[in-house]
Amino acid sequence: MRRRWIAPSAVVWLVVAAAFFLIPLIATLLFSLRSIQTNKCCSGAAYSLIVHDHQFWSTIRLSFQLALETIAISLLLFVPTVYWVHLKLPRLRPVLSLMALVPFVVPPIVLVVGLLNLYKGAPSWFYDKPYGFLATAYVILAFPYMFFALDAGFRSIDLHTLTEASQSLGAGWGTTLTRVILPNIRVAALGGSFLTLAIVMGEFTIASLSAFKTFPPYIQVVNESQPYEAAALSLLSFLIVWAAMLALVLVGRGRPRPAQVAATR
């Protein structure tokens, strides 16, 4: 049997890439382990202070809940829309793609000012609450990530044939979408959800300017006065986001890879 081997150039590139990602993390870890009193290594005091700070837990819980809400709204909004556009209105796809680029072009600071003015007379349960105003802003921010992920997913399956096969067997639109289409674009939906989670967990500008105490503004506050704790907080937030993504992966696992459906239309 032929032995598989890795080319030396590939090893070099792997080492360079690993260094690029790992060196800042290791440096942050070493910095966060310095003693608050002596400024020398190694002490877990910064971590102890952070995990005992109730604001850490409340802000991270809020950000996480907002992320889940944004993912849920985005999926509910975009899955049927992108499905319908692919199925019945393919000419609208370029229009949607263009619209999806708008959040990239409009800076968050402009977006938040615009949204604050737009919703100024809105009911307080929406305007004054993060689950209303902030979630709406985050759905807009996550639009390109969710749209392009779903768009790629829908393009990878033979949507017309699957839909027609489902309908010929007696399924209505709802059943077709939830039991046939959605399971087959699961990977794309998960991809969009990962990106949304990462964006919401790290979003600072909108949360800060609209005066909601989410996790990123909390990191910023800590960073101003407690450098070791801020480093510890960055690492913890990094680990938490990765753990959340891992949880999403695990939730989405358990079914075999869908086969590519031949598109012959």
Residues that bind other proteins (CB under 8 A): 157-158, 161-162, 164-172, 175, 179-180, 183-184, 186, 255-265
Q: Output the smallest distance, CB 93 to other proteins, in A.
A: 20
Smallest distance from other proteins to CB 154, Å: 14
* Nearest distance from C-beta of residue 175 to other proteins, angstroms: 7
Using the minimum distance from each CB to other proteins, give the nearer residue, 131 or 173.
Answer: 173
Nearer to other proteins, 184 or 234 (CB): 184
Q: Which is nearer to other proteins, 184 or 210 (CB)?
A: 184
Residue 88 CB, shortest distance to other proteins, in Å, is 12
3-state secondary structure the chain: CCCCCCCHHHHHHHHHHHHHHHHHHHHHHHHHCECCCCCCECCCHHHHHHHCCHHHHHHHHHHHHHHHHHHHHHHHHHHHHHHHHHHCCHHHHHHHHHHHHHHHHCCHHHHHHHHHHHCCCCCHHHHCCHHHHHHHHHHHHHHHHHHHHHHHHHHCCCHHHHHHHHHHCCCCHHHHHHHHHHHHCHHHHHHHHHHHHHHHHHCCHHHHHCCCCCHHHHHHHHHHHCHHHHHHHHHHHHHHHHHHHHHHHHHHCCCCCCCCCCCCC
Nearer CB in complex with other proteins: 81/167: 167
Cβ nearer to other proteins, comparing 188 with 236: 188
The distance of closest approach from Cβ of residue 182 to other proteins in the complex, given in angstroms and rounded to an integer, is 9
